[in-house]
């Protein structure tokens, strides 16, 4: 069975990748992932120090100005809990590269143009085989239009792209008015892939304690459908590789992602819930399903359920929307 896949210029034995997350923080887990057949590793993101400083400043400012609302910011995690400093991050790339033979994709999340230029260069110099640029952005400024937000994000990607030769994937949030247009702008900038999508971690409210709670719920397969829709729309309409992130828990999820048009799929919650060896289950499950359904190569199923040959995907989506609403019946 041939599952070989080219992603970000890397030839991989199969398309199921461990996504950016905490597993690469532990060298034993990293080796375990390689042993169970991970075709590459995606590291958790390096967060620009600037973000950390701004978060500290935001805490301090609100503590002083509006003491009674200080608890409303309790959802901000302590930076030390999730941020590796740049030096530690760069040496972790070197340690992981020394520990495994598979390609290592680093990830960066920055905000200032300087940060976006500087860190990708340092990461490439540290030996990463490719870079995921993690655009995690929530617009809260009523004076900044969506077009301006998009320009700013594109500027960040341009800054990251300029200084390095290694391939770049851009991990997107799902909240754009026109994802195909934004993806085509990314393609013009010379990136190689987009990752659909970043998950937003939405704080819950504790109504007794009057504070917000950081809720990092792991995903379920229910998150898959949003990804499937956009993959189906983008497949065949962009030259970029498409990587699915969000809701891959079972081998059937992988098959759906590939049918919608994913070049690769990534899984994080699935591996955190079931352990790194779950990656092998996913690969075996895909192979078994392909045997049963007489597929011998992934290209036979990749994109077969996309809108590639539909002249008007918007009309299909409108039709589906109406059909779904009318199909509901009370039990």
Ligand X SMILES: Cc1cc2nc3c(=O)[nH]c(=O)nc-3n(C[C@H](O)[C@H](O)[C@H](O)COP(=O)(O)O)c2cc1C
Q: Which stretch binds ligand X (CB under 6 A): 115-123, 146-154, 177-185, 212-220?
A: 212-220
Subset of 95-134 contacting ligand X (CB under 6 A): 107, 134
Interface residue with ligand X, options 5, 45, 243, 263 (CB under 6 A)? 45
Q: Counting contacts by CB under 6 A, is residue 199 touching ligand X?
A: yes
Please report the DSSP string for 231-279 in residue order: HHHHTTT-SSEEEEES---SHHHHHHHHHHT-SEEEESHHHHHH-TTHH
CA 249 to each of CA 1, 221, 234, 268: distance values in angstroms, whole numbers, following the listed order: 22, 6, 23, 9
**Cβ count near 311 (within 10 Å):** 7
Interface residue with ligand X, options 171, 227, 229, 302 (CB under 6 A)? 171
At CA 46, angle to CA 219 and CA 146, rounded to 5? 70
Pairing of strands 41-47, 10-12: unpaired
Record the tokens describing residue 109, joined without a space.
Answer: 């999340």
CB 44 to ligand X: min, Å: 3
Using the minimum distance from each CB to ligand X, give the nearer residue, 15 or 246: 246
Alpha-carbon torsion 12, 15, 21, 25, what sign? negative
Q: Counting contacts by CB under 6 A, is residue 193 touching ligand X?
A: no
Q: Which stretch binds ligand X (CB under 6 A): 15-23, 72-80, 140-148, 323-331?
A: 15-23
**Cβ count near 224 (within 10 Å):** 24
Q: Counting contacts by CB under 6 A, is residue 9 touching ligand X?
A: no
Q: Which stretch binds ligand X (CB under 6 A): 94-102, 153-161, 175-183, 215-223?
A: 215-223
Q: Counting contacts by CB under 6 A, is residue 19 touching ligand X?
A: yes
CB 244 to ligand X: min, Å: 9
Q: Are 116 and 152 in contact (CB under 8 A)?
A: no
Q: Are 185 and 178 in contact (CB under 8 A)?
A: no
Pairing of strands 168-172, 193-196: parallel
* Angle formed by the axes of helices 86-99 and 113-125, nearest 10°: 30
CB 249 to ligand X: min, Å: 8
Each residue 235-274 as x (binds ligand X by CB under 6 A) or -, in order, gives ----------xxxx------------------xxxx----
**Cβ count near 101 (within 10 Å):** 6
CB 221 to ligand X: min, Å: 9
Q: Which stretch binds ligand X (CB under 6 A): 71-79, 178-186, 214-222, 227-235?
A: 214-222
Using the minimum distance from each CB to ligand X, give the nearer residue, 156 or 219: 219
CB 250 to ligand X: min, Å: 12
Interacting residues with ligand X (CB under 6 A): 19-22, 44-45, 107, 134, 171, 198-199, 216, 218-219, 223, 245-248, 267-270
């Amino acid at each position: 069975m041939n599952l070989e896949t080219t992603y970000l210029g890397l030839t991989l034995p199969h398309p199921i990748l461990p996504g950016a997350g905490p597993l690469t923080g532990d060298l034993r887990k990293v080796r375990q992932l390689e042993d169970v057949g991970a075709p590459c590793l995606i590291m958790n993101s390096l967060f620009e120090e600037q973000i950390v400083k701004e978060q500290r400043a935001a805490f301090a400012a609100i503590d002083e100005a509006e003491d009674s609302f200080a608890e409303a910011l309790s959802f901000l995690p302590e930076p030390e809990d999730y941020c590796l400093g740049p030096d530690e991050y760069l040496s972790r790339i070197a340690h992981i590269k020394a520990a495994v033979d598979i390609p290592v994709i680093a990830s960066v999340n920055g905000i200032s143009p300087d940060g976006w230029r500087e860190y990708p260069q340092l990461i490439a110099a540290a030996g990463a085989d490719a870079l995921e640029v993690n655009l995690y952005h929530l617009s809260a400024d009523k004076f900044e239009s969506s077009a301006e937000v998009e320009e700013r994000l594109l500027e960040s990607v341009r800054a990251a792209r300029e200084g390095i030769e290694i391939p770049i994937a851009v991990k997107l949030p799902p909240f754009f008015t026109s994802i195909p247009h934004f993806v085509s702008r990314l393609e013009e900038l010379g990136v190689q892939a987009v990752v659909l999508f970043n998950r937003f971690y939405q704080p819950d409210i504790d109504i007794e304690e009057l504070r917000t709670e950081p809720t990092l719920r792991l995903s379920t397969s229910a998150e898959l459908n949003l990804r499937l829709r956009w993959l189906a729309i983008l497949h065949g309409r962009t030259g970029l590789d498409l990587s699915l992130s969000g809701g891959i828990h079972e081998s059937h999820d992988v098959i759906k992602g590939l049918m919608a048009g994913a070049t690769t799929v990534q899984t994080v919650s699935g591996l955190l819930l079931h352990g790194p060896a779950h990656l092998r289950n996913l690969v075996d499950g895909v192979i078994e399903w392909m045997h049963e359904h007489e597929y011998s190569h992934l290209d036979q199923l990749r994109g077969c359920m996309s809108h590639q040959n539909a002249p008007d995907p918007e009309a299909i989506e409108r039709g589906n929307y109406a059909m779904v609403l009318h199909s509901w019946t009370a039990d």
